[in-house]
Structure 1
Amino acid sequence: MPRSVNSVAAKKKRKKILKLAKGFYGARSKLYTVAKNAVEKSRCYSYIGRKQKKRNFRKLWIIRINTAVRKFGFNYSNFINILKNNNLKLTRKTISNLIINKYNLFKKLIKEL
């Protein structure tokens, strides 16, 4: 009995991996086995990177808030505490956007506290 090989599916699988490895350096984009390893590792990094992105943006917002609030004699932790005590539910992202885009509104907010 002749040997049956599903070359269509195998070729499709290899092409998919090589397409994902497009733009990688050297053999990482040309050879299937090397590309497979590189793609696998890059997917791990992208998963981790999505988590780090959230962390980094939160850090950035906190730094922006801290520098803006210090001009008015507060520090970051005192400012957040005052917001909580006044039941103002503003996220760090919205406060940061206020600082960047509508600084006058931010000044009014601080003066009312």
Structure 2
Amino acid sequence: MPRATNSPASRRRHKSRLKLARGFRGSRSKLFRQATEAVDRAQAMAYVHRKQKKRNFRRLWTVRINAACRTNGISYSRFIDGLAKANVTINRKMLSEIAIFDEAGFTKLVETAKAAVA
């Protein structure tokens, strides 16, 4: 009786892994073992970076809000504290959009925060 191999399944497995490695440079897209390592690392980093993306955007919004606050004569922390005390619930993403596109509206928010802190 001839020896049975796992040829169809392993070929399918190799092809699918090499397909994921398209676009990688050199042997990382040609050789199965190197492609496997490269794809595993790429997927792990993609997971990590999806989490970091959220952190980075929050940092960006904070920097933008802080810059707009400084031009209105208040620090970022006092501004956020004032909004919390005034029961204004706007997330940082929207605050940064307001700071960029609606300076008059942001100035009113700053005045609200200043009144609540004082």
- Normalised to the residue count of structure 2, the TM-score between the two structures is 0.88
Q: 1:12 to 1:103 in 2, by over 3 A?
A: farther
1:109 offset after TM fit, Å? 2.3
Q: Counterparts of 2:44 and 2:22 in 1: how far apart (Å)?
A: 17
Letter paired with 1:98: I
The one-character-per-residue Cα deviations of 1:36-95 (angstroms, maximum 9, x if unpaired) are 011111111111111111111111010000000011110000000000000111111110
1:2 offset after TM fit, Å? 2.0
1:90 aligns with 2:90: yes
Q: Structure 2: where are the runs of 5+ without partners?
A: 114-118
The worse-fitting range, judged by mean Cα deviation, of 94-103 and 57-66 is 94-103
CA RMSD of aligned residues (A): 1.3
Of structures 1 and 2, the one scoring higher in RCO (CA 8 A, sep 6+) is: 2
8 Å Cα contact 2:82/2:112 also seen in 1: no
- 2:41 aligned residue: 41
Q: Give 1:32-71 correspondences, 5 Å limit.
A: 32-71=32-71
Letter paired with 1:74: I
Q: Give 1:4-19 correspondences, 5 Å limit.
A: 4-19=4-19
1:15 offset after TM fit, Å? 1.0
Q: How many residues align?
A: 113
Counterpart of 2:63 in 1: which secondary structure?
helix
Counterpart of 2:51 in 1: which secondary structure?
helix
- 2:116 aligned residue: none
Letter paired with 1:41: R
Q: Percent identity?
A: 46
Letter paired with 2:82: I
Which ranges of 4 or more aligned residues in structure 1 deviate by more than 3 Å?
A: none
- 2:27 aligned residue: 27
- Normalised to the residue count of structure 1, the TM-score between the two structures is 0.92
Q: 1:32 to 1:23 in 2, by over 3 A?
A: same
